[in-house]
């Protein structure tokens, strides 16, 4: 039996709140380039992160809280 997939019916998978997110997941979630996430890491200005071995990961709850704080602190809209 062959399965077919309609490209229009595909959606991005939901990110569970207990899943650790990679820097790419964070970039995708926030709609910023991956390089921006790495710059935040080097400047320690981005969302809180954890190191697991040599890997950087983010807790979804920490990311959500960081976004909320950013808006509360007067984050400016992106320039076009």
pTM: 0.69
Higher pLDDT, 70 or 4: 70
Q: Is the pLDDT of residue 9 over 50?
A: no
Q: Is the pLDDT of residue 34 over 90?
A: yes
Confidence at residue 4, expressed as pLDDT on a 0 to 100 scale: 47
Buried b (16+ CB within 10 A) or exposed e, 22-46: ebebbbebbeeeeeebeebeeeeeb
How many of the other CB atoms lie within 10 Å of CB of 71? 8
Judge: domain 18-72, CATH 3.30.420: no
- Are 55 and 12 a contacting pair, CB within 8 Å? no
pLDDT band with cut points at 50, 70 and 90 for residue 26 = very high
């Amino acid at each position: 039996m062959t399965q077919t997939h309609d490209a229009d019916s595909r959606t991005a998978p939901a990110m569970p709140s207990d899943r650790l997110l990679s820097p790419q997941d964070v970039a995708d979630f926030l709609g910023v380039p991956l390089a921006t996430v790495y710059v935040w890491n080097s400047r320690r200005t981005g969302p809180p992160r954890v190191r697991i071995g040599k890997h950087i990961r983010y807790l979804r709850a920490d990311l959500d809280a960081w976004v909320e704080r950013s808006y509360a602190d007067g984050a400016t809209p992106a320039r076009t």
